[in-house]
Structure 1
Amino acid sequence: MATSSEVEVETVVEGERKADNTKKSWGFREWGLLVSVCAAFFLDALDNIMVGIAVPPIQSDLGMTTESVQWVVSSYVLGFGGFLLLGGRMADLLGRRRMFLIGVAVFAIGSLVGGVTNDGLVVIAARFVMGVGAAFTAPASLSIIITNFPEGAQRNRAVGIYTACGAVGYSTGVIAGGALTEISWRWTFLLPVAVALIALIGALALVPRDIKPDRGSGKFDVAGAVTVTVAMLLLVYSIVEAPNAGWVSPRTLGTFAASVVLLAAFVVIERRAAQPLLRLGLLRNRALVGASLVAAAILGTYMSFQFIGGLYLQTMRAWSPMEMALAFLPIGLLIATIAPRAGKLISRFGVQWMIFAGFVAYTASYLLFLRIDEASSYAWVILPSILLIGVAFPFSFPAANVQATTGVDESEQGLAAGVLQTGYQVGAAIVLAIVTATMAAEGPANDAAGTLSGYHNGLYVVTGISVITTLLTLVAALRASARRRVAGSAAAASQS
């Protein structure tokens, strides 16, 4: 029997079609609000791509070791993944607009510090602070969209545009990152400060103030907040460090065990708390949990594909950062083109079929990329995979966001967005860690053939995860279609 959340997701198509007949065109308030919160997603994509390209110059300029410089990227993931659940719930309790503004301001401060320092450890700390800022911004921005655009076609359209803004940030980031790195890596930190200030000013003027939430008579769940945040920090840390420390090393096993113990303690605390940070019943929402697992597969496989592709082009093919940026540029251009229309596609086909179609394209992309050799043609071997990713992402990403938030009470939209974003970030960390370990399993590569073999091993893992997800999403789509047919037949019978 379908749960209430599944029924609400499955009937969204009919609701959207009705909404299409009555919706009004958006005015300045709607567009202004959307642009303001989308700027944060744009900023996150822009910054991550630019800093990723700038890692080698940062290492050279600041004299950082290979082990330490990887934390320029990993510390951001640690801050983001560790504070997402807290950020989502704080948005519900203290106001989405307020937490959005705080998150953007924290991000800007961290980026400014990272751009002016001459100390590698300060750069790592600044990136952690930026990740914390994004952990408050990401769930707040999505929940602002969800609570200000009515469920159905208008919300789907807004989420599609939200996705497109991230793609524009990605597209801009690959070019800007390559160009700015040629001047100085510091500009990859300083440019986001200007973008953050624009987003901050726009949100102050255009995002409406929240209605004062009803917090009840209980106190804020401090114990739950501390426990889950430390647990997530330890979990992400153990995953990120596992390839370097060893999967069965005392450090990896110890931090992972500590995170499990803290998560178990968090569950106990939430069951007893008068005003829990996370209402455990929310995790019985199968649509939200399913969307979060899909999110983990989306970002986990894609980030691993990009990691392998970047290494292949820069190490084996000796491409410059700018050449690599241009190679991946079609992904962002296609997402920016298709994503604004994703709302209409979701309204027509439903979220389950859109997610399935996305993973068909992901799987085809990864299979085609397995053809890489020591001198593969870009147009014949690499570009087809790039183009398929550019189609897969705008099909799957907006649909997963819609599925995760449909049927969730407005008072928990921030938390639902936090759970979804946690799926994205933890999934990316886990899959990338597994792929990295698989690539290194045969030991150091002494020649091009050995290096290429490592890339293929990593791609086998990526492709396998994508194939499994494709099959599972097909089952979900078929079941959803069957339930809709039964519901339609019952409705027709009751009217006759």
Structure 2
Amino acid sequence: MAQEVASNPVEQTGIPVPQEGTAEFEKLNRMAKRAIPLVLIIFIFGILEQQAFGMIFVNIGQQLGAPQYASLITSLPGIILGIVCVVYGSLGDFLSLKKMTFIGIAIFLLGSIIGFAGSSNIWAVIIARMLQSAGGQVPGSVFLVLVSKYITAKNRVIYYGIFSAIFRLSAAVGVLAAGFIMKLDWRWLFLLPLLSVFFLPALAKNLPDEQAKGAKIDGWGFLITGAFAGSVTMFFTNMTLYWFVAIIATLAAFIVYITKAQNPYIRPEFFTNPAFAITMIIIFVGYFFSYTLNAGVNAIGLNVFGIDSAEVSMLLIWSILLACVLGFSCGTIIKRIGRTAAIIGALGFMGLGLILIAWAIPHGKIAALALAPCVYYFGTSFFYSPIVDTAAKTVPAEEAGRVMGFNDLVQAITGSVGVAVFGNLMANGAMASGSPVPVEAGEASTYANVFLIGGIVVLSAMVLFIIFRKMIYRREY
């Protein structure tokens, strides 16, 4: 029997993760705790750059005499970001996290240097932002892999909550930084990531350097995955038949590839795992309105209450700050009430928040744009941590990086789909003839109905989770 087992070794699915409680795990746990704050700081720089340039790209295009290309400063890096999220998370299962991080930081800093040196040329700025997006995402992906593999199971939700809070805080600071830096010179934004070099010595000591034995980068698999992610992003950026055909073609190529390839980076069984599949569906439905809320609130402010975007931002920012503050404390609360209660409660508040925004429209701008969104953002604070932790545990620890990557991809895709669906409804004035909400026919009716539908969609994710929760946790690793 021993000879038979030896002649049929188990397929290597990723870097082996020591069992919790062993001396080897404790060593990696200590290293991870020292490395996590450092990679998180560098990730903050990436988010700051993304949000800051996303706010002032029009100004940059005008200053450089190329306003027709200004949108590429955000759209092309956004496409790159959608592609690399799934790739980096998957690579974290096979490759050295130390090497990944240092390569990512090098690309991040290269983009920063090119951007500052070539800031008089629109194409240099665009290329620089693409490099920054490609490199700046690595620390974020490494953070999630470190937590999912080397932090004790009971404490992971705390780290996921901090990650979500830091993301929101960085986005807010990025917007404020952009407004301030425009009074000086936006070119200095490119130099901010250079502060990352001060963290390199400590990262070199504390990032795990293991690599899966005999692991090879599945170039074709990642290329096809990236092509699919890019096609989806482009389709919902510019809806044309060409990109729809590209989605179908790349999806078919992906299915054929992982079925026929000898050693693909992800096996077909990954997607036939019912716990993983239903969790991804819940994430897709739950975050479907995530990219639409701010745009919808802004539209209500502009077209219903007659205020400008600056005033809308000042009303909405309090709900975002609430989510940020709760993100730092939600992990402890989730540990106490459990993931099941947290996910059900989070989706309930998210769906209710969207419905309340609709019903608050007749009661004025403060109720609709400042108070009601707090309910939605309160829910989001308690959704990310437990659902990501749940998703990571639907597979063995050696495969958790791929789950993190696909989670990021699903969130990016569902936000884009939601914006396309609900954005078109709002732009076309759909459902303007009347609403269950006591508002006048016209734009107010359209927005009220869109938010009502959005709330129902999110609540359906809660229903799905309640129905399938036992199956999801029964298969937990």
Q: Shift of residue 58 of structure 1? A: 2.2
Structure 1 residue runs of 5 or longer lacking an equivalent are 1-17, 243-251, 444-451, 488-496
Q: Which amino acid aligns with 1:467?
A: I
Return the match for 2:220 from 206, 220, 223. Answer: 223
Q: Distance in 2 between matches of 1:186 and 1:433?
A: 32
The aligned residue for residue 408 of structure 1 is 395
Q: Shift of residue 166 of structure 1? A: 1.7
Q: Distance in 2 between matches of 1:441 and 1:83?
A: 33
Most deviating of 158-167 and 398-407:
158-167
Q: Distance in 1 between matches of 2:297 and 2:199?
A: 32
Are 1:236 and 2:211 counterparts? no
The aligned residue for residue 6 of structure 1 is none
Equivalent pair of 1:295/1:400 in contact (CA under 8 Å): yes
Encode CA deviations 1:424-477: one digit per residue, 9 max, x unaligned.
11112221122332233259xxxxxxxx95586466445424422323323423
Equivalent pair of 1:333/1:390 in contact (CA under 8 Å): no
| TM-score, scaled relative to structure 1 | 0.77
Equivalent pair of 2:82/2:412 in contact (CA under 8 Å): yes
The aligned residue for residue 12 of structure 1 is none
Q: Distance in 1 between matches of 2:110 and 2:353?
A: 38
Q: Shift of residue 320 of structure 1? A: 6.5
3-state DSSP of counterpart to 2:289: helix
Return the match for 1:476 from 451, 465, 471. Answer: 465
Are 1:335 and 2:352 counterparts? no
Aligned ranges 1:387-398 → 2 under 5 Å:
387-398=374-385
The aligned residue for residue 70 of structure 1 is 71
Q: Shift of residue 395 of structure 1? A: 0.5
The aligned residue for residue 8 of structure 2 is none
Aligned ranges 1:100-139 → 2 under 5 Å:
100-115=101-116, 116-139=118-141
Q: Distance in 2 between matches of 1:161 and 1:214?
A: 33
Aligned ranges 1:320-331 → 2 under 5 Å:
321=310, 325-331=313-319
Q: Shift of residue 143 of structure 1? A: 0.7
Are 1:363 and 2:351 counterparts? yes
Distance 1:344 1:140, change over 3 A: same
Q: Shift of residue 69 of structure 1? A: 2.8
Q: Distance in 2 between matches of 1:303 and 1:168?
A: 17
Most deviating of 289-298 and 73-82:
289-298
Q: Which amino acid aligns with 1:221?
A: D
Return the match for 1:32 from 22, 31, 34. Answer: 34
Q: Shift of residue 44 of structure 1? A: 4.1
Encode CA deviations 1:208-240: one digit per residue, 9 max, x unaligned.
223231236xx5433222222222212211221
Q: Shift of residue 421 of structure 1? A: 0.5
The aligned residue for residue 50 of structure 1 is 52
Q: Distance in 2 between matches of 1:156 and 1:343?
A: 5
Q: Distance in 2 between matches of 1:159 and 1:429?
A: 23
Distance 1:466 1:119, change over 3 A: farther
Q: Distance in 2 between matches of 1:113 and 1:228?
A: 28
3-state DSSP of counterpart to 1:132: helix
Q: Distance in 2 between matches of 1:337 and 1:100?
A: 28
Q: Shift of residue 35 of structure 1? A: 0.8
Distance 1:139 1:337, change over 3 A: same
Q: Shift of residue 195 of structure 1? A: 5.2
3-state DSSP of counterpart to 2:428: coil
Q: Distance in 2 between matches of 1:181 and 1:54?
A: 8
Encode CA deviations 1:359-383: one digit per residue, 9 max, x unaligned.
22222332333367699433x3311
Q: Distance in 1 between matches of 2:183 and 2:32?
A: 39
The aligned residue for residue 438 of structure 2 is none
Are 1:290 and 2:278 counterparts? yes
Distance 1:146 1:420, change over 3 A: same
Greater helix proportion: 1
Q: Distance in 2 between matches of 1:113 and 1:374?
A: 50
Q: Distance in 1 between matches of 2:415 and 2:89?
A: 19
The aligned residue for residue 259 of structure 1 is 247
Equivalent pair of 1:234/1:259 in contact (CA under 8 Å): yes
Most deviating of 116-125 and 367-376:
367-376
Equivalent pair of 1:304/1:462 in contact (CA under 8 Å): no
Q: Distance in 2 between matches of 1:346 and 1:285?
A: 26
Distance 1:258 1:167, change over 3 A: closer
Equivalent pair of 2:108/2:136 in contact (CA under 8 Å): yes
Encode CA deviations 1:281-300: one digit per residue, 9 max, x unaligned.
11233343334334444554
Are 1:146 and 2:164 counterparts? no
Distance 1:170 1:483, change over 3 A: closer
Equivalent pair of 1:287/1:403 in contact (CA under 8 Å): no
Most deviating of 354-363 and 365-374:
365-374
Are 1:423 and 2:425 counterparts? no
The aligned residue for residue 207 of structure 2 is 208
Encode CA deviations 1:383-403: one digit per residue, 9 max, x unaligned.
113322331221111122111
Q: Shift of residue 142 of structure 1? A: 0.3
Equivalent pair of 1:104/1:199 in contact (CA under 8 Å): no
The aligned residue for residue 434 of structure 2 is none
Are 1:464 and 2:474 counterparts? no
Equivalent pair of 1:114/1:122 in contact (CA under 8 Å): yes
Distance 1:465 1:283, change over 3 A: farther
Q: Shift of residue 260 of structure 1? A: 1.5
The aligned residue for residue 447 of structure 1 is none
Identity across matched positions, percent: 18
Q: Distance in 2 between matches of 1:61 and 1:227?
A: 38
The aligned residue for residue 264 of structure 2 is 276
Aligned ranges 1:304-315 → 2 under 5 Å:
304-310=292-298
The aligned residue for residue 446 of structure 1 is none
Q: Distance in 2 between matches of 1:183 and 1:318?
A: 28
The aligned residue for residue 437 of structure 2 is none
Structure 2 residue runs of 5 or longer lacking an equivalent are 1-19, 431-440
Q: Distance in 2 between matches of 1:302 and 1:51?
A: 21
